[in-house]
Amino acid sequence: MRELWPYVVPFPLDARARKAAWEVLSSKVGMAILRSLKLGEKNYQKDIIAKMPFSNKSVIYYLKKMVTAGMLEEGTDKVRVRLGRVIRVKWYVLTEFGKWLILFLKEPDQITSQEAEEAIKELLRSYISRVYEASIKYGLDFPSLIATSCREAVKKIVISSPRLEPEVAVFGCPALDIYGKLRDFPGEGECSLLEETASFPGGMGANVAVALARLGVKVAFVGAVGEDWASAMVLKALARDGVDISGVYVCEGPLLRTLVMFDERGSRRLMALRLKGVTLSPPELTERAREILKVVRGVYLGEMFVELASEIAEEAKRMGKLLIYRPGSPYARLGLERLKAPLSRADIFIINEVSWRLLRASSPGLADPGELTELGPEHVILTLGEDGCVLYGRGGREEYFKVPGALKEAYPVVDETGAGDAFSSGLMKALLSGARLEEAIKYGQAAAVIACSRLGAYPSFPKAEEVEEALKLVRG
């Protein structure tokens, strides 16, 4: 496909205006005037005449044609001159049509970022308005037309994204995190007003990918997105952080939303909104995803459908990759029997207190996290929030890692959302750098403490230099 000009010019529908526009564009005088006009300010007739190497009559003729064509709007200013006399001075300003014509006549590298931004915004507003009017006129489904546009944008983002040679492949679920506050959480039969305070790209898997990228790890993210504006926003955010998204699977429907709700006491509740048509996991791996799996050194396996997670875990095990499995609460509810296949192939299984309670309740006979090592993982890590974590090894080995007080004091908790994602990314980063597991846990804890000292998950993940600075407090 040939490269297209970055601005599309919508010509007027009125025959008289269209004829005038063609007359201007086919005239040497008209084109010279058009190129001389300034964007976003008044162009005075006397100044235009002074600049043009043509007769006054010719210049005024084509200025009138531009007004007829809808390229210019005209007006006059009252100006006081000598002896208190007042005269009228004629001016012209460019319409949207006129602005787009000037941008069309310029080479793309002659257009400033501000001019481009304003033109694109105006163009989008204009086209959406006109598409809506056409939808009403011809009985078309306007929301479906908008959804189609978003779908094409999402596919374009994935296809055009840079491909890395990643060290880590992250398999998980992306989402849009919507933060809100309310006075109190509602009781039975009550309704509370939730006021949105912020929105960030999110989802456990996507968060881990971003957190790894900020720690300096080359990472590829594989998951399923929808075809809506939220999917486009999350993908663009991942790409901005340097995450390879070329293996993402685009599905019909919207992206998953997660509500992060705080009351006036600071208590937090999370709720995942699975809107109609949302796909939480790819039904299969793209060819690009399989290529990524072959070249990476480590695999983080998060919220994937169990059948697909089993396939990924089997491939990772066969290829000798470091595999960390952290499925999250929704999958913990499925019970140990359903998770046994991917779990048995993991090197490290990470689970938090809430997910552990859900897994134990859904798994008859399961009493202790250490029992999970008998199924295959060499290590199981139970995270305990600000209290640290417990490391379980084969043969009943158990070790408690407390979060150092110096870190807690230096980085007071603001928002715990994303703490597990920061910990997991820090752990994997350190392990791939050659650290012993015990040291990697401490590195992950430092990353998590920093993340908890900031609002939101996505904006809070630290860079490697920040983690190193935090660890100096512990090392002295």
Query: Which tens digit of pLDDT belongs to each residue from 313-334?
Result: 999 999 999 999 999 888 999 9
Domain 15-134 has CATH 1.10.10.10: yes
CA distance linking residue 429 with residue 447, whole number of Å: 11
pLDDT reported for residue 7: 52
What residues contact residue 268 under an 8 Å CB cut-off, 6+ apart?
260, 261, 262, 415, 416, 417
Between 240 and 274, residue with greater pLDDT: 240
pLDDT surpassing 50 at residue 426: yes
pLDDT reported for residue 400: 96
pLDDT surpassing 80 at residue 389: yes
What residues contact residue 456 under an 8 Å CB cut-off, 6+ apart?
177, 179, 198, 200, 415, 417, 418
pLDDT reported for residue 396: 83
Q: Taking phi first (over 0 means left), then psi (-120 to 50 degrees means alpha), and beta for anything else, what does residue 191 get?
A: beta
Q: Which CATH architecture has domain 164-173+204-224+239-247+279-475?
A: 3-Layer(aba) Sandwich (3.40)
- Mean pLDDT is lowest, of 25-29, 258-262, 299-303, 387-391, for 258-262
pLDDT band at 359 (very low <50, low <70, confident <90, very high): very high
Highest mean pLDDT among 117-121, 136-140, 329-333: 329-333
Q: Taking phi first (over 0 means left), then psi (-120 to 50 degrees means alpha), and beta for anything else, what does residue 385 get?
A: left
Contact between residue 169 and residue 296 where contact means Cβ atoms under 8 Å apart: yes
Query: Stretch 417-429: mean pLDDT, rounded?
Result: 95
pLDDT reported for residue 184: 85
pLDDT surpassing 70 at residue 74: yes
Every domain of the chain and the residues it spans:
15-134, 164-173+204-224+239-247+279-475
Q: Compute CA 31 distance to the chain's CA centroid, rounded to the nearest angstrom.
A: 42
pLDDT band at 100 (very low <50, low <70, confident <90, very high): confident
CA distance linking residue 31 with residue 254, whole number of Å: 46
pLDDT surpassing 50 at residue 30: yes
| Six token digits for residue 294 | 């072959």
pLDDT reported for residue 1: 39
Mean of the per-residue pLDDT values of the chain = 90
pLDDT surpassing 60 at residue 69: yes
Domains 15-134 and 164-173+204-224+239-247+279-475 share a fold: no
CA distance linking residue 415 with residue 432, whole number of Å: 28
| Six token digits for residue 384 | 């305990």
Between 425 and 149, residue with greater pLDDT: 425
Q: What is the pLDDT of residues 298-317, one digit of tens each?
A: 999 999 999 999 999 999 99
Residue 457 exposed, middle or buried by CB count within 10 Å (0-12, 13-18, 19+) = buried
pLDDT band at 56 (very low <50, low <70, confident <90, very high): very high
Query: Stretch 378-393: mean pLDDT, rounded?
Result: 95
Q: Could you give the C-alpha distances from 317 to 299, 312, 344, in angstroms and in order?
A: 10, 9, 10
CA distance linking residue 164 with residue 244, whole number of Å: 6
pLDDT band at 8 (very low <50, low <70, confident <90, very high): low
